[in-house]
Amino acid sequence: MMQLVSGNVSLKPSQRKQINGWLRRPQRLGQQLGTFDIKITIHRTGKMYEVRADVQDQAGTFVCRSRKHGVLDASRAMVQKLNHQLHNQRLQQAA
């Protein structure tokens, strides 16, 4: 299950669609691991955007977080970290 909470940031529909598109690969990797729940929160503090992903899957729980000046930049960096972590968990599960 995936949940996107935009907090005090109002996302345009195109931005929401783009973020959901970036999350397709991590969602597929998470479903391959087993029970996969992800909650993504976006908050703005001053001039910075913080995107945080709280992930629970069969291999364990972890948090990926990114802070950047743009909401899409922060989201992209968080998705890259999420991909890396899920890929490592998948490799550990295969071994």
Residue 79 lies in a domain: yes
Q: Is residue 40 part of a domain?
A: yes
pTM value surpassing 0.85: yes
Task: State phi, psi for 58 to the nearest 5 degrees.
Answer: -65, -30
Domain extent at residue 59: 2-89
The tens digit of pLDDT for each residue in 81-95 reads: 999 999 988 888 877
Number of domains composing the chain = 1
24 membership: H or E segment, kind and range: helix 24-33
The verdict on residue 54 lying in a domain is: yes
Residue 91, number of CB atoms within 10 A of its CB:
9
Residue 6 clears pLDDT 80, i.e. is over it = yes
Does a structural domain hold residue 95? no
Q: Do the domain assignments include residue 94?
A: no
pLDDT tens-digit series, residues 37-82: 999 999 999 999 999 999 998 878 999 999 999 999 999 999 999 9
CATH code where residue 35 lies: 3.30.160.100
**70 domain residue, yes or no:** yes
pLDDT at 90: 86
Residue 3: per-residue pLDDT: 86
